[in-house]
Structure 1
Amino acid sequence: YLTGRNGVTLVLKRGKEFEVLATNKLDDEFRASAALVGKQMLLRGSQYLYCIEEGATLNKQEVSSKAVAGPKKISSKAKAEGDKSKRELLEVIARRELPKDYPGGKGHQAFVDKWFKTAGAKGAEVGQLWEEQQRLFPDMKNRGESFIKILDYVRTKGNKAKAARPTGNANPHIKRKVQAEIRREPGKPLGKTGALSGRIQDLAGKAMSGVMVSVFDDSRRQSTSVFSQPDGSFRIEGLHESNFKIRARLLGQQDGWVENVTLGKDSIVIKMSPATGEDLEEQRPASDAFGQLSFDSPRDRLNFKMMCAYCHQIGT
């Protein structure tokens, strides 16, 4: 049984050849797989929870009770207005700064677990907001930070954390190309513009291509990135006068940094060295560790992947 978001469920024949036995349609939106319990199939829609059983009938009393006490269908207009309100709230939450007591990185899960132990009813509120966040913003960039901002909003009742100033599109979860906002004192000129260029090399002096070279201007909270060419060269143009930091990054290599760089330099050389030990370990994709886990059955492996993949990228 395969249920699509549009409410269409395909019944496929079990076998080596693909064959559709039946197609069923429910007037609802679905974002969860069907659950089979005995002879019953449970489907959770946006408006109703459906229980389907072959040959099942309702007596008059059950039908009457269901007609009186059953949930009222939400009109498409009311649903759209509700989504708009939820979207606006989630956009406000997304612009909040991360809480100061949030450790990030490896401390993320411990931080979440500690709070949920004493969260009580607030934990359910976080869960509801997170479910709406995933539904309305499925392409959010950083799921972990988005979850923490929702958690902090609920635990502080939305009052304590300062919201970051939005730039560009008001929706922070839409992937887009944005020109970084330039911050300066009133009346202070931007100064001249120019470029920075140089080369990326390994320890033996050999050119390295495909290295991501990023220039950071902390005074304006601006960064620009390019990739080194086959001869190892890079050039970044359109920069305003400032003191820059340059970082070179490539998987398997330690980050190379150059600081206090000013406009006009065209002979910057950044040497890259292989990453080792913990530095190399931290660069390994999550799928690498997932592939080393042992499961009792393929089904257990799939269940683990489906449960964890809601929040964590674990590869295939």
Structure 2
Amino acid sequence: MSDTLIRRAVLTGTGTYLPEKIVTNAEMAQRVDTSDEWITERTGIRQRHFAAPYETASFMGAAAGRAALEAAGMAPEKLGAIIVGTSTPDNAFPSTAVHIQAALEATSAYGFDLAAACSGFIYGLSVADAMIRAGQVDSVLVIGSEVYSRILNFEDRGTCVLFGDGAGAVLLEARNVPKDGPGLLSTHLHSDGRLADILYVDGAVGRLDMPGHLVMHGKEVFRHAVNLLSGAVNEALAANQLTAADIDWLVPHQANKRIIDGVGKKLGLPAERVVVTVDKHANTSAASIPLALAMAVQDGRIKPGQLVLLEALGGGLTWGSALLRL
């Protein structure tokens, strides 16, 4: 029947946090052999935020999560679960999510982290969506929070200028809605470990012989990014019997303006329907999509009822997409 209701994960609140310290391209040029022109022309980045010592992944994630709960009007003690996408956790364990749980006083929630690099938020949405659809939980705070400034090699000018710190969060709540109503319509996840050596961090708790710096072979990443991301977006469209013309907004991972433009062009989406924050935030990894999404919701660009496509690619390689109706 056309009036049959479906249990879906509906976005009810968004939140952000950006460190106080802003670092411009000109300031980066004082630290490494580069220039504002070089960075802007190749990436679209003009500035980034770098965290102070107290601005950890859990500190920033808690601030973004608190804002999302407040926007939705939900008391923290009513929250069901917290999922955090991060590659820069406070500790190997316990998870960043449980630190955030404590900071929020979300006493009824459980929490865990996901490690999928820049795709972490999309992976988190997919897990939260499945949990809500299955009836396991009625509300999930999905957070991306990163302090990449702490894993950058400032001797490598090709990578250290690309990244920044920040956090973004969304609250998903279970709602019974019609088929054409709001909520997450589908998510699509992929990985290919054969490409692990083109984007990675060379160290971990279990590798004390390695320095723990981010390593990226940019040309190789770029070569794969546009096709893989376009494929994931088309997969989401096909799964929902839609075309690019039906999409109101594309909210891509904010890695590089040329990649963003390339995906938009492949889909035939005009630039005015693509949310871009890479110029202000640089690449904040798992935080980039929730930051961009929240800012476009909060400034009124993204409106209730509109269809929003999200996509990301990160180390692994991991990549994926999600289709959301506000």
**Could you tell me the TM-score, scaled by structure 1's length?**
0.22
Bigger helix fraction: 2
The normalised TM-score by structure 2 is: 0.21
Structure number with bigger Rg = 1
Q: Which has the higher strand share?
A: 2
